[in-house]
Amino acid sequence: MMSENTWNLDPALESTAIVQLNTQYELYIDGKWQIPQSATYFPSVNPADESHLSQIAQANEADVDKAVKAARAAYQNVWSQLSGAERGKYLFRIARLMQEKSRELAVLETLDGGKPIRESRDIDIPLACNHFFYYAGWADKLEEAFPGQQMASLGVAAQITPWNFPLLMLAWKIAPALACGNTVVLKPAETTSLTALKFAEICQEAGLPAGVVNIVTGYGDTGAALVAHPDVDKIAFTGSTAVGKQIQRACIGTKKKLTLELGGKSANIILEDAPIDQAVEGVINAIFFNQGHVCCAGSRLFIQESIAHQVVEKLKFRLKSIYVGNPLDKNTDIGAINSKKQLETIHNYISVGLSEGAEMYQPDCKLPEKGYYCQPTLFLDVAQSSRIAQEEIFGPVLTVQTFRTIEEVIQKANNSPYGLAAGVWTANGARIFGLSSQLQAGVVWANTYNKFDPTSPFGGYKESGFGREGGRHGLSAYLQIKN
Ligand code: NAP
Ligand code: MG
C-alpha cells in the first residue's frame, strides 16, 4: 500500500498457476526422494498471507549421515572420475533447465520467501542461472584459472544457505563446487527450502549422477549435524555471524576447509558533489528494496553535512511513494518480511532506536492485515555508538549520520565489526579511488549499489566472514591448490 497522498496503481498480480508444488517433500539423497528417518515434517509458510504451502521433511543426524555417505560414494565412484568437460556438460544442462523454468522458480521464490516478484524475476533467478553457466564454463579450464599450479578437488562439500536469496545462494555454492569436481550436501534455510527442492528435481531431470547433489532440509540442528559430520571435507556457510562463529569453533582441529559469508552493516556515503537524485534512488535501492533482507544492504547512510537536509527531505519524499504489499504484485517495492520471527526482530530494533533517542520517520502507509509487513523506516541523528548503527537489523531500516570531511567518514564507516560492502556517491573519480581503497569492505560500489555478476568475487572483511564466492576466486574455495 502506498501512502494516502499518492495515487494507487492498479494491482498487477503475477499468476501462481505456473508453480507445481507437492503437498509434501521428502529428502533428496542419492538421487532419490527418501522418507526422513525422523519421520517428522515441518510446514513452509507464505509470509505474504501466512498460508501453508507444503510440508517439508526434517532431516536428523542419521539422514545427514546417509546424505554424506551418498555424496562420498558419488565422489569416489563417479564425479571425481569425470573429465572437466563432462562435468561442464551437466552444469550447462542444469543452467538451461533452470532458465526454462525461470518463471516458475521466480514465482515460487516469491511465494516462499516474500520477496517482490520483480526482484526474484529480474535478479535472483537470472543471476542463479548465470552462475551455473559461468562455472560450467570453468569446469574444463581449471588449469587456466591457476596457471602453473596443480590442483585437486576436495571431496564432499557441506553447504548451508540463508533465507534471503535462497536459489541464488544455492547457485553460489553448488555451481563452483561441482565445477571443481566435488559432490555436495546442501541444507537450505528452513523458511525457504522450496526452490532448493525444485532444484533437486532439475538435477534429476538433467540426469546428474545420483549422490552428486543431496538436499537435506531441516532446522538449525540439521545444519549443525552436517557441520559436525566427520566425513565432510569442506564447509561453506552463508548466514549470520553468530552461527558462523559456532561453525568456526566446530571446525577447529578438523580437516575441514571453511568459508564463511556472514552479516553486514554496510556504509553508503554521499559526498556533497554527488548527483543527488541518483544517490537518493541508489539509497532506496540499497536498503528498502527486498525489505532490507540483503547481507550487503546499505543500512548505514552517511551524508556530507552541507547537503544533508536536502538529501533527507528527498528521501522522505521518495519513501512516500514506495509500494509495500503483496510481493506477487509487479508494482511492489517492499514485499513481506521473511518470517514472523524476523518481523519481531525488526520491530524490536525499531523500539531500540526510539529508546536510544534517534528521530524516526516512517511514511504514512497502510500495511496488509495478514502476513508479515514492515514500513520503511528512517532513523535520523543516529549516534555512532548506538545499537541501531552497530548491529545488523536485516530489515527496511536505515540509519542516517552526517560528516564534514572524508577522513571523518572513513573513520566512521570503518568503525563497525562488519566489512561486507560499501557505496560511494560522488562525481569525483579520484575520491572514488581514494575511498574505495580505504574502506574496509569486500566490495565498494561507486554511484551504484547492489550490482552482482558471476564473474565478480564477493565476500567480507572482519566479522563479515572470509573466503570469496563468485569469479575465479570462487573456484579456489573448492580446490586444493598445490604449488
Ligand atoms: P542463520 O540463522 O545464521 O541461518 C543460516 C543457515 O544456517 C540456515 O540454513 C540455518 O538453518 C542454518 N543454521 C542455523 N543454526 C545453525 C547451526 N548451529 N549450525 C549450522 N547451521 C545452522 O542466518 P539467517 O537468519 O538465515 O540469514 C540471515 C543472515 O545471513 C544475515 O546475517 C545476513 O547478513 C547473512 N547473509 C550473508 C550473506 C553473505 O554473502 N555474506 C548472504 C546472505 C545472507 P535454519 O534456517 O533452519 O535456522
Ligand atoms: Mg516460506
Distant-in-sequence, close-in-space partners of 329: CB < 8 Å, separation ≥ 6: 11, 12, 13, 14, 116, 117, 323
Q: How many helices (H) and strands (E) does the chain have?
A: 17, 22
The SS3 call for residue 263 is coil
Domain boundaries defined on the chain? 24-261+461-482, 267-446
Task: Give the pLDDT score at 4.
Answer: 52
Task: Give the pLDDT score at 57.
Answer: 98
| Whole-number Å distance between alpha carbons of 91 and 175 | 7
Task: Give the pLDDT score at 185.
Answer: 98
In 3D, which of 319, 194, 271 has the Cα closest to residue 426? 271
What average pLDDT does this structure show over 302-317? 98
| Whole-number Å distance between alpha carbons of 383 and 402 | 10
Task: Give the pLDDT score at 10.
Answer: 87
Q: How far is the CA of 359 from the centre of ligand 1 (A)?
A: 31
Contact predicate 336/373, CB 8 Å: yes
Instruction: Indicate whether 1 pLDDT > 60.
Output: no
Q: How far is the CA of 229 from the centre of ligand 1 (A)?
A: 18
Topology annotation, domain 267-446 = Aldehyde Dehydrogenase; Chain A, domain 2 (3.40.309)
Task: Give the pLDDT score at 6.
Answer: 58
Q: How far is the CA of 161 from the centre of ligand 1 (A)?
A: 6
| Whole-number Å distance between alpha carbons of 178 and 93 | 13
Per-residue burial over 246-261, b = 16 or more CB atoms within 10 Å of its CB, e = otherwise: bbbeebeeeebbbbbb
Task: Give the pLDDT score at 290.
Answer: 81
One fold for 24-261+461-482 and 267-446:
no
Q: Give the right CATH number for 24-261+461-482 from 3.30.365.10, 3.30.470.10, 3.40.47.10, 3.40.605.10.
A: 3.40.605.10
Angle at alpha carbon of residue 31, lines to 455 and 187, rounded to 5°: 55
Instruction: Indicate whether 413 pLDDT > 90.
Output: yes
Which DSSP symbol is given to 124?
I
Helix (H) or strand (E) holding 142: helix 142-145
What average pLDDT does this structure show over 29-57? 97
- The dihedral over CA atoms of 283, 289, 291, 292, expressed in degrees to the nearest 10, equals -40
| Whole-number Å distance between alpha carbons of 243 and 160 | 11
Cell of 237: 556457510
pLDDT in tens, 209-244: 999 999 999 999 999 999 999 999 999 999 999 999
In 3D, which of 80, 470, 467 has the Cα closest to residue 257? 467
Q: How far is the CA of 195 from the centre of ligand 2 (A)?
A: 10
pLDDT in tens, 143-189: 999 999 999 999 999 999 999 999 999 999 999 999 999 999 999 99
Distances (CA, A) of 121 to 117, 125, 189, 395: 6, 6, 20, 21
Task: Give the pLDDT score at 365.
Answer: 87
End-to-end CA distance of the chain: 58
Reply yes or no on whether 374 is catalytic: no
**CB-proximal residues (5 Å) to ion ligand 2:** 44-45, 112, 191
Cell of 238: 552463508
Pairing assessment for the beta strands 397-403 and 443-446 based on DSSP bridges: unpaired
Q: What is the mean pLDDT of the chain?
A: 96
Contact predicate 152/482, CB 8 Å: yes
- Write out the E strands in 124-170: 150-153, 156-160
pLDDT in tens, 275-295: 999 999 999 999 998 899 999
Please write down the long-range contacts of 9-17, taking CB distance under 8 Å and 24 or more positions apart: 9/323, 9/331, 11/326, 11/329, 11/331, 12/329, 12/330, 12/331, 13/326, 13/328, 13/329, 13/330, 14/107, 14/110, 14/117, 14/121, 14/328, 14/329, 14/330, 15/107, 16/107, 16/111, 16/328
Ligand 1 pocket residues where CB is under 6 Å = 160-164, 187, 189-190, 219-220, 223-224, 227, 238-240, 243, 246-247, 261-264, 295, 392, 394, 420, 460, 464-465
Task: Give the pLDDT score at 483.
Answer: 73
Reply yes or no on whether 251 is catalytic: no
pLDDT in tens, 345-371: 999 999 999 999 999 999 998 899 999
> What share of the chain in percent tops pLDDT 70?
99
Instruction: Indicate whether 404 pLDDT > 80.
Output: yes
pLDDT band at 3 (very low <50, low <70, confident <90, very high): low
Q: Which of 4-18, 236-250, 320-334 has the lowest mean pLDDT?
A: 4-18
Of all ligands present, the nearest one to the C-alpha of 172 is 1
Cell of 255: 580437516
Helix (H) or strand (E) holding 401: strand 397-403
| Whole-number Å distance between alpha carbons of 408 and 274 | 18
